[in-house]
């Protein structure tokens, strides 16, 4: 039964993560902890193992999404590599810090992060774009299929600082980092939304390889549970990338804000009362 639930969770994680550029870990981690510990279906699961499972999954969600977005030519490879290089030391440090977290501490800090992410998603559309980063950084140009041209860019030094912090959160909690980098790319760096999502998933793919290597080294990956998670996430990510080209993700983002807020509050309460 737990294998069936993990397939469903991974499918949703891949679909939602790919559709809005989140990577999927933000769905998989709390859902797996819930069925594993609260429902008692995976009694040997730990926060470390869930994070290890999540980062391995994100290799495949990132790969599936990137392959789909490559066809639509919306991936900014140069920016993806720059963001990836900045995230490497943060990812390794986060994986190392993760070793020392017990379940109450993990729940508390993860809950705080979920609430922060829900707030970011909530105010993302209300914030005015900041043009300073484009004016004072390396500029790039993108023309979409309808002939609209966008100028975007960023100072490389700031991109390194930003992605170091995102990499740390990714290594610590097993999330893809897309939930933090996509709003920054759109609001601060003025990326076209579809380019931001596609480039984010490319970065998630690259970062997850390093992230997984760290967690494999620390013995955090429950290989048995990767069997249902990897194919489910891969299929979900392909579906999400396909839907991204056809629909506006506003409704999904609205639902995600509410879900993340509720999950965050619940996780904090569990962390405090444990």
Contacts of the segment 1-9: beta carbons below 8 A, 24+ positions apart:
1/41, 2/35, 2/36, 2/41, 2/42, 3/227, 3/228, 4/228, 5/35, 5/41, 6/32, 6/35, 6/225, 6/228, 6/229, 6/232, 7/228, 7/229, 7/231, 7/232, 8/232, 9/35, 9/229, 9/232
- How high is the pLDDT of residue 87? 93
Structure confidence by residue, pLDDT tens digits, 215-245? 999 899 999 999 999 999 989 888 887 876 6
Structure confidence by residue, pLDDT tens digits, 38-69? 888 888 889 899 999 999 998 888 888 888 88
Structure confidence by residue, pLDDT tens digits, 115-165? 888 887 777 777 788 889 999 999 998 887 778 888 999 999 999 999 999
Domain map (residue ranges) of the chain: 1-273
With a pLDDT cut of 90, the percent of the chain lying above it is 35
């Amino acid at each position: 039964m737990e294998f069936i639930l993990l397939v469903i969770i991974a499918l949703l994680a891949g679909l939602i993560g790919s559709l809005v550029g989140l990577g999927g870990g933000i769905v998989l981690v709390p859902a797996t902890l819930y069925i594993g510990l609260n429902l008692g279906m995976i009694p040997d699961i730990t926060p470390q193992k869930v994070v290890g499972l999540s980062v391995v999954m994100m290799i495949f969600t990132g790969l599936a999404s990137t392959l789909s977005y490559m066809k639509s030519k919306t991936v900014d490879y140069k920016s993806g590599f720059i963001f990836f290089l900045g995230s490497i030391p943060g990812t390794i440090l986060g994986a190392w810090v993760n070793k020392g977290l017990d379940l109450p501490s993990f729940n508390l800090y993860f809950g705080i992060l979920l609430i922060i992410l829900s707030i970011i998603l909530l105010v993302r559309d209300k914030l005015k774009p900041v043009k300073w980063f484009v004016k004072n950084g390396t500029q790039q140009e993108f023309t979409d299929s309808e002939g609209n041209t966008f100028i975007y860019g960023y100072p490389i030094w700031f991109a390194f600082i930003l992605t170091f912090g995102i990499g740390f959160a990714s290594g610590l909690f097993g999330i893809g980092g897309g939930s933090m980098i996509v709003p920054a790319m759109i609001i601060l760096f003025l990326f076209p939304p579809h380019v931001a999502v596609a480039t984010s998933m490319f970065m998630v793919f690259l970062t997850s390889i390093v992230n997984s290597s760290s967690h494999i080294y620390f013995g955090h990956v429950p290989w048995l549970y990767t069997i249902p998670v990897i194919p489910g996430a891969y299929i979900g990510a392909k579906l999400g990338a396909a839907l991204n080209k056809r629909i506006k993700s506003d409704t999904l983002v609205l639902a995600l804000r509410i879900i993340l807020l509720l999950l965050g509050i619940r996780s904090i309460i569990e962390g405090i009362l444990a």
